[in-house]
Structures are given as structure tokens and as C-alpha cells.
Amino acid sequence: MRVTIFGASGLLGKALLREWSGDTLTGLSSRDADIRDAKRVRQVVRETRPEWIVLAAAYTNVDGCESNPDLAFAVNRDGAVNVATAAKEVGARLVLLSSDYVFDGKKNTPYETGDRRNPQSVYGRTKAEAEIKLLELMPDCCVARTSWLFGIGGKCFPDTILNLSAGRPALDVVNDQRGCPTYAVDLAHAIAQLCRKNTSGIVHVTNAGDCTWFEFAQEIVGSAGLATTVRPVSSQQMARPAPRPTYSVLSPVRLRALGIEMPSWRDALRRYLEQRQLTI
């Protein structure tokens, strides 16, 4: 199977290129093909002749999206349409990486794939609109929603906590936002399986279990054997430009129906910490 990956220099893109085996992969960074450039996107898709495209390229700075909405929509929505249009022209299938931010966070039970989108941030709106447009343009495309992504080779929450812990005796971390941490390695393996299973429609892909950011930070510090104290605070105390969903746990029902099981986030964190030690 020939697979073209847009966003190959990002956290997930790097994991996809490292972990995916048995198929022919082409990884494209924004330097190779800016997805805002429809002509260039069509060109690289025709050249690589993929059977599947994984669209992992995105503007993911949630707070940056609030201050740069035009850029956010140009990349996350319009860029996604450019890739889908090119995919359709050559008969390729497509996986769009989407986000828990398409929901408002007002539930207290896991979000199902068919729950109503109601994004509260610019980033969330860009992803929600991309989902809608791509499912209209390519009804057989796959939308893989994920959350709280972490991994080797880029900025992520565990890396930030570990770096801050090296210089501080205590850290304040929000304890009123709950979601599902997701290890890029496990997400990469799941995406490969989705392609091999010719999956269409919306799928939620996260590691098993959920936690708050405070609980995640506690586990990171404890598992790393650090003495840093982690203190719970409210989102109001740690105000950010973009609103975050209070509850954005994603239901694995559809993923399990496809025969794909994800390890627990604690197991994923352990493996991440082991891999991080090898790269320091």
C-alpha cells in the first residue's frame, strides 16, 4: 500500500514514519508541500500516487489560533479541503486527524462519534468545519479524532512538565479539565490499522482511560522519580486566551468495534519516559 503523510515533521508525523512498516510511505513536511497551496498539493499527490493519505498537518497552537483566526482556518479547514480535493482526483482514500476540541466539554460521559459538534474555540471551529467539509466532499473519508497528544520529537505536556520540574520545587496544574492522553506511537499504529481496514466515517482514537491535567502531571512526576510537588488549581486561576473543554473524554466504542484496542495512558506514559531517556 502506498501512503502519503502530510505533516511528516510534526509529533504524529514523525511517529507515523518511525512506526509504520510493511507499506511504502512518503512523508511531506510543510516545506515540501504547504497544504494552503492547492496547486502544490495536487502536484505532490499526483507524483506519489497514494492509495491512502494521512492528513496530520495542522496549525495546532490553540491559543495562537485565537489571535490568528485567518491563518487557522486557512490551514486547518481550507488546507484540508485542498488535500481532500487532490485525493479525490486520484482516487486515494483519506484520514483526517481531528480533535476533542470540536465538542463543548459540557457532557460528563464520554463523547460518542455522533454527538453534536459545538466547538468553543477558534481551533475547535477550524477542525469542526474541516470535518464537515471533508465528509461532504469524500463521504468515505475517515475522521480520526484524538486528544492530549504526547510523544518524542516535539513539544508536549509531559516534556513541559519534566523540563519545568528540573528547576522548580512545585508546579501548579489545572484539575478541572478531564480528557484522554494519547501517545503518538500508539496513535500511529492505530492509524495504520484504520487504513488497512479501509475505515470510513468518524473514529475516536485515544489511549484507554482518562484523567485531569493535574492527575497526568502527578503521574509524570511520580513515574520519573522526581520530588517536585504538583498542586491542583482551577482553569480560572490559569486563564488562557482560548477556552478549553472541561470534559473531553472520547468514547472508544467505534474503535473497538473495528477490532482496535489501545493501551492505557499510564502504560503509554511509561513507554514514553523510557524512550525519552534514550534520546536525552
Which sequence positions are flagged as catalytic?
A: 123
In angstroms, the CA 211 to CA 222 distance is: 15
- For residue 174, give the H/E element and its range: strand 170-174
- pLDDT score recorded for residue 54: 98
| Residues whose CB is less than 8 angstroms from the CB of residue 160 and which lie 6 or more positions away in sequence, other chains included | none
Largest CA distance in the chain: 56
pTM of the model: 0.97
CATH architecture classification, 2-151+181-208+248-263: 3-Layer(aba) Sandwich (3.40)
Q: How many CA atoms lie within 13 A of 225 on its CB side?
A: 3
23-78 per-position pLDDT tens digit: 999 999 999 999 999 999 999 999 999 999 999 999 999 999 999 999 999 999 99
Q: What angle in degrees, to the nearest 10, is found between the helix axes of 38-48 and 80-90?
A: 40
| Residues whose CB is less than 8 angstroms from the CB of residue 54 and which lie 6 or more positions away in sequence, other chains included | 3, 4, 5, 6, 7, 16, 94, 95, 97, 191, 195
- pLDDT score recorded for residue 11: 96
- pLDDT score recorded for residue 118: 98
226-249 per-position pLDDT tens digit: 999 999 999 988 888 898 999 999
Contact 249, 110 (CB under 8 A): yes
In angstroms, the CA 5 to CA 206 distance is: 20
- pLDDT score recorded for residue 92: 98
| Mean pLDDT by groups of 10 residues along the chain of 280 residues | 97 97 96 98 98 98 97 98 98 98 97 98 98 98 98 94 92 97 98 98 98 98 94 90 94 98 98 89
Q: Where are the domains of the chain?
A: 2-151+181-208+248-263
